[in-house]
Structure 1
Amino acid sequence: MPRTKRIWVPGDIYHITARGNRKNNLFRDRKDYHHYLALLQKVIIRYPFHLHSYCLMPNHIHLIIGTIDHSPSPIMHYLHSVYARYFNKRYDYVGHLFQDRYYSKPIRNHKQLLDTSAYVHLNPVKANYTKLAEEYPWSSYSVFLKASTTSLVHTQLILSLLGEDPHQKYKLYVETRRSINDWQV
């Protein structure tokens, strides 16, 4: 049976997740995380898009991307096929690194974008990898807490939704979401 075709509209924003095959780890050490982030930079140049937030967990990833001229399909295909070749070569593996194809959910409004970004950044806290989201080194959360420019994460859209002192307001928003029991998006 053929797969359902994904619907894409230029300019749409998506929450993308992917998990390691059989829930195995995608990242074993710092070098793996750094390699994935370097590939993200390359894919942004190859298939331009806005990376609004990310979190790399040991066995899965979260990306919030805003499309420009390309659907998420070529972006994710390039990113994950190149990363899988790196991983398999490094650890002398064969076969699939990722379980199934990536999952994508369109983000339809600003409230959903804020909630999803908070969810992504709170993932390491909810999984008990850290007590504070800002302590987790493999997410974009720290970029949202201070005024800085980065070629990787496009914070402008999310921060523009918060008015004056957006860095402090974003931190407060995420901390408020942390205390809400129903934190799924």
Structure 2
Amino acid sequence: MPTKKREWYPYASYHITARGNHRNDIFKDKEDFIYYLTLIKEAVEYYIYDKYEIISYCLMDNHVHILIKTGERHLGQFIGKINSKYAKYYNKKYNYIGHLFQDRYFSELIESDAQMLETSKYIHLNPVRAKMVEKPEDYEWSSYPMYIGNKKENLICSSYLLSYFNSENRELYKKYVEAVI
């Protein structure tokens, strides 16, 4: 049976998740996290004319969250490039056979500003909800430390989300995210 075609709108934003097969870990050490982030950066550069922008991300041990603004090219090529390269790397490094990722990646269309903000908050609080850290800024594999100014911004475009907060105020964004903790 053919795979159902995804709903696609150019110049839209999407929340992407990709989970390890059988919920198994897809990152086992620091090098794995770094390599996946490198692949995201390479894909953004490769598709530079398509104007993909990473709004926020969080790499958990067994899954990935990416909030992305797209251009004209379908998101499947972008995410497919990252996940297939990462799966080859992982399979070779760990002598792993079979599917690394469970199914295709999941994508949810972001349809409002409120949904954009809530999705980013959800992504940034994921390590706290999983009881991996007490505060979201303590999680190394998330864009949150960049949003609040604790880490030099790299890979992400924070200005879009921060523009909702009084002249791109990082402290207001931090209060918004951490209000539920």
TM-score with structure 1 length normalisation? Answer: 0.92
Moved over 6 A (4+): none
Once the two structures are superposed, residues 119-156 of structure 1 have per-residue CA deviations (whole angstroms, 9 ceiling, x without a partner) of 00000000000000000000000111028763400101
Q: What SS does the corresponding residue of 2:107 show, helix, strand or coil?
A: strand
Task: Give 2:167's match in structure 1, choosing from 158, 164, 168.
Answer: 164
8 Å CA contact 2:23–2:102 kept in 1: the answer is yes
1:89-168 map, 5 Å = 89-146=92-149, 150-164=153-167, 166-168=169-171
Q: Secondary structure at the match of 2:133?
A: coil
Q: Do residues 22 (structure 1) and 15 (structure 2) align? A: no
RMSD: 1.4
CA contact (8 A) 1:147 1:167 kept: no
Aligned to 1:3: 3
Tell me whether 160-169 or 134-143 shows the greater mean CA deviation: 160-169
Distance in 1 (alpha carbons) for counterparts of 2:121 and 2:33: 21
Give the Cα separation in 1 of the matches to 2:129 and 2:87.
27
Amino acid aligned to 1:155 = S
Shift of residue 69, structure 1, vs aligned partner: 2.4
Gaps of 5+ in 1: 180-185
| Structure 1 equivalent of residue 177 of structure 2 | 174
2:73 corresponds to: 70
- How far off its partner does 1:15 sit? 0.2
Q: d(CA) in 2 for partners of 1:98 and 1:56?
A: 14
- Taking the aligned partners of 2:58 and 2:154, their CA distance within structure 1 comes to 16
| TM, length-normalised to structure 2 | 0.94
Give the whole-Å Cα distance in 1 for the aligned partners of 2:23 and 2:47: 28
Identify the residue that residue 182 of structure 1 maps to in structure 2: none
Structure with greater strand percent: 1
Q: Gapped runs of 5+ residues in structure 2?
A: none
Indicate conservation of the 8 Å contact 1:18/1:62, yes or no. Answer: yes
> How far apart, CA to CA, are the structure 1 residues paired with 2:58 and 2:152?
18
CA distance in 2, matches of 1:79, 1:99: 15
